[in-house]
Amino acid sequence: MAKGFTLAVLPWVYIAKYGEDNKWSEEFKEKPHKSPAEEATLSEEEQQSLHEQRNSFPELPLVNYTTQYGMGVFEGMKAFPQKDGSMKLFRPDENGKRMNRSMEGLRSPGFPVDMFVEAAKGVCRRNKELGFAPTYDSSWEKDDFVSAESIYVRPFSYSEPAIGLGVSKHPWVVFASTQVGAYFKPGNHKGLVTDKIRAFKGGTGWIKCDANYVVPILAKKAAEEQGFMEAIFLDAETRTYLEEGSSSNIFVLLKNGTLVTPELGDTILPGITRKTILQLAQDMGVKTEERKVSIEEAMEEGTECFVSGTAAGLSYIESITHHGKEAVFNNREMGELSRNLLVTLKGIQYGKVEDRHGWMLPVE
């Protein structure tokens, strides 16, 4: 069973390059592999050697704007096995739009959305044909697909060779993928407000760029060392308003029945799961608001709290600790709305719940 993220990159990858003619060229590449059954019999050292070969891209330069200054962007999306044996991507067009905006936000040529979607489909389809994809397991339904497996697709940009300060004018875009399971470790759902700053007005907080993840990673690791699952960021100016989790958007259900989440701006990443949850909540008749949410309001008026993202899906927060004070939500258990949203989201992704909004795209 796949556990979180691994470097077991699947054999088929996709590489595109923005050339001197200002046009994108593209190709699918098949990396070294054996059959899944044969690879399962390899020793750990042999598996590692094979995975290293698949994770090697000698055509990409080591010294460039991306490796030296974090001037690159990436996306994350999943393809889900269905009961009928097919596989479907969840809202890849939205990921494509965001990656295009992110690349342009770094003053790089944007990657066309239609090419993005076809690349995602092509990578998943080719790997599935080789047998490198999970098959639907009805036992996943017992925990509402929390432990279910999927294919995680990681598109990213990578600049041309460079060492001085500058922006990429002729980038690569690469799609790699790996099989994944649950993201957060079970048993701990505590959140800790960090004193670190994730983003500030006028910065790149709205861009899904490499550099934005340095501070969140440091904050999350520090929180984990103190016994928490997640680090929670406040705004840079007043240090009073919720912003995000370490790699996820955050929601709070208030005592008055309103589901609130911080409004989008140049410090908040426009999450696709975030957008989806807002729609699902509205479908359920829940009032939603996108606005400033103070940490005080969340801790005093919140009855449920959760974070959302491609990797996390929806993961409830049992408590928030801020300046030594802890606010506990729903007796440390997942709340009714959180569970309904999770069950509906996962149900749509794995084909158990009707896809009323046309979010699921077959890879075939």
Catalytic residues: 208
Task: Kindly provide the b/e burial profile for residues 205-224, where b requires at least 16 CB atoms within 10 angstroms of the residue's own CB.
Answer: bbbbbbbbbebbeebbeebb
Contacts of 227 (CB under 8 A, 6+ apart): 188, 190
CA distances 5 to 62, 189, 352, Å, are: 23, 19, 25
**Separation of first and last alpha carbons in the chain:** 24
Contact 65, 162 (CB under 8 A): yes
The amino acid that residue 148 corresponds to is A
- 3-state DSSP call for residue 339? helix
Q: Tell me the HSE value of 353 on the side-chain side, using a 13 A CA sphere.
A: 17
CA atoms of 338 and 23, how far apart (whole Å) = 45
Best CA proximity match to 5, nearest among 217, 221, 215, 182: 182
CB atoms within 10 A of CB 186: 10
Contact 217, 225 (CB under 8 A): no
